[in-house]
Amino acid sequence: MKLIKPHLITDSMMVSSSVLENDYPAWVPGTTYALGDKVIRVGVHKVFQRYAAGSSTVAPELDPTVWQDIGPTKKWAPFDNVVGTLATGTSPLNYTLRTGFTDSLALFELAGRYVDVVMKDATGGVVVYQKRIDLEVTDIETIFDWFFTELDLRTDIVITDLPGQYASAELSITLTTTSGNASVGVMKPGLITDLGETQYGASVGIDDYSRKDRDAFGNTVIVPRAYSKRGSFTLMTTLGSFNRIYRTLAALRATLCVYIGTEEPGYEPLLIYGFFKSFNIEISYPDYHLCSLDLEGVI
């Protein structure tokens, strides 16, 4: 089990992006807006919707009585704390970030065929890392499968071998499709920590927030809503890492991180972006300990 503590991406770290911040017209002070009108505020990278018709000189983020915050602009969607918001654009979709010390990267809710990651030692500097990841993982066993099996593409990946020694590192992430638009929901570069060896018996699942009701005639009415991942893990930790792991988890008790149950192919559900609900380290043996960790993903 490893975890990535993500960097907080700020305006100064955004070098460039192929996704434009033009979801809706920019808010203009004093303009009269109708009920339901949507505007963007580039300064805070948010989309706001009007509660009631009228005008104001107060910025929407400071006037919640008439403006509703409905989420980030699509350009900044991968850097919020929500899984369901997407940055979508024509292929290739690219982000170039000035991340500094960075040794890992997590990408969730991908829609594409290839991910290319390039790291330079500084902005416009020398390439120190370059990798292409094919997201196609279709299991082909027969000629019939070759012609008729639906293409299976990974939506969640982690990269944990970035060279982390560059204080001014520039990271470029490019998502390419074979047809249609590309999109990404979560993009979290950061620093990785090893928590221990994941043991067999781990379990993962989802909590579904869809609404299921029956009307007066007994018909089922389903309102689809989002879901979140959850997982329970047992980790084997060494004697020397006991204090470090305890301090690390205690310090991250209110921090969203990327938890990596395993990097083995085929186990993408063990990648969870969220927080731990509880952890317990059991001192059962003289040379190693067992740590139980319950995780809950964000929507």
Could you read off the pLDDT of 160-215 as tens digits, one per residue?
999 999 999 999 999 999 989 999 999 999 999 999 999 999 999 999 899 888 88
Amino acid at 26: A
Contact 291, 195 (CB under 8 A): yes
| Residue 137 main-chain phi, psi, to 5 deg | -135, 30
Please tell me the CATH code under which domain 9-17+79-192 is placed.
2.60.120.260
Reported as a single tens digit per residue, the pLDDT across 73-132 is: 999 999 998 888 999 999 999 999 999 999 999 999 999 999 999 999 999 899 999 999
| pLDDT band, very low/low/confident/very high, at 140 (cuts 50, 70, 90) | low
Architecture of the domain delimited by 20-73: Ribbon (2.10)
Domain boundaries, the chain: 9-17+79-192, 20-73, 197-297
Q: Per-residue pLDDT for 136 more than 90?
A: no
| pLDDT band, very low/low/confident/very high, at 247 (cuts 50, 70, 90) | very high
Reported as a single tens digit per residue, the pLDDT across 34-57 is: 999 999 999 999 999 999 899 889
Q: Rounded CA gap, 52 and 258, in Å? A: 39
Query: What does the radius of gyration of the chain's CA atoms come to, in whole angstroms?
Result: 22
Tell me the fold of 197-297.
Elongation Factor Tu (Ef-tu); domain 3 (2.40.30)
Encoded tokens for 281: 């380290």
In this prediction, residues 10-28 reach a mean pLDDT of 95
User: pLDDT value at position 163?
Assistant: 96
**Percent of the chain scoring above 70 in pLDDT:** 96
Q: Reduced to 3 states, what is the DSSP secondary structure of residue 64?
A: coil
Q: Rounded CA gap, 254 and 1, in Å? A: 19
User: pLDDT value at position 141?
Assistant: 63
* pTM for the predicted model, two decimal places: 0.90
